Chains A and B, each alone.
Chain A
């Protein structure tokens, strides 16, 4: 079992550009949540996808959007990048039916905006 996998691991973008980050959930999981972790901070919940729909959203602007595919993998898109978007982006997966609130995390994608 590969667990939760994320790509790319590191990337550098220019302010104003757009970025897409990808996540493959742990085998058997159907729910994917995305988090942003700025340096020195704990992860902040961005949104969650289940059954290919955004189910809940944290306090993030519409520049942050996502998608879930039929195979449960997910993408996070960020438009009009700002310097403040530089962070580690984490994906966590879980299975809605097992009652597990905790999620299993990937290693994250480091985004640097210059």
Chain B
């Protein structure tokens, strides 16, 4: 069965420290993976998708099929990065049908 696991509920770092938010998935086939972010009192929004291989707000994520992981990384955390982060993959393929992980709260302290 398709599944997304985010093992950490909370990740607390100081400003300027590196950040790695972990995501592991279970999926048969070639997955399309996403990271979503939800800032305080804002809607859930797409941060990045692996097929675009973009760096958004300094965040990158590499799909590792061998380890079935899609960890989100940023070399130097900023206070404005504090938010909830969700990893997601499509539900049985198709559009706009996603399986989300439970999320990781990133807290960046000054």
Contacts and interface: CB of A to CB of B under 8 A. Distances in A.
Given A42-B100, A48-B96, A56-B94, A102 B43 contact: no
A4 B44 CA distance: 11
Interface in A38-54: 40-45, 48
Nearest to A108: B43
A45 B46 contact: no
Given A42-B102, A43-B86, A90-B44, A103 B91 contact: no
Contacts, number: 74
In the complex, which range does the number of interface residues on chain B fall in?
20 to 34
A48 B101 contact: no
A31 interface: yes
Contact of B91 (A32, A56, A108): A56
Contacts of B94: 48, 55-56, 101
What is the predominant secondary structure among interface residues of chain B facing chain A?
A: loop
A93 interface: yes
Interface residues of A, number: 30
Interface string B1-33: 000101001000000000000000000000010
B103 A93 contact: no
A84 B93 CA distance: 28
A41 B84 CA distance: 11
Contacts of A90: 44
Contacts of A108: 43
Given A58-B91, A101-B32, A106 B98 contact: no
A100 B96 contact: yes
Closest 6 CB pairs of A and B: A42-B100, A103-B96, A94-B96, A105-B44, A33-B96, A107-B43
Interface of A: 4, 31-33, 35, 40-45, 48, 55-56, 58, 90, 92-94, 96, 99-108
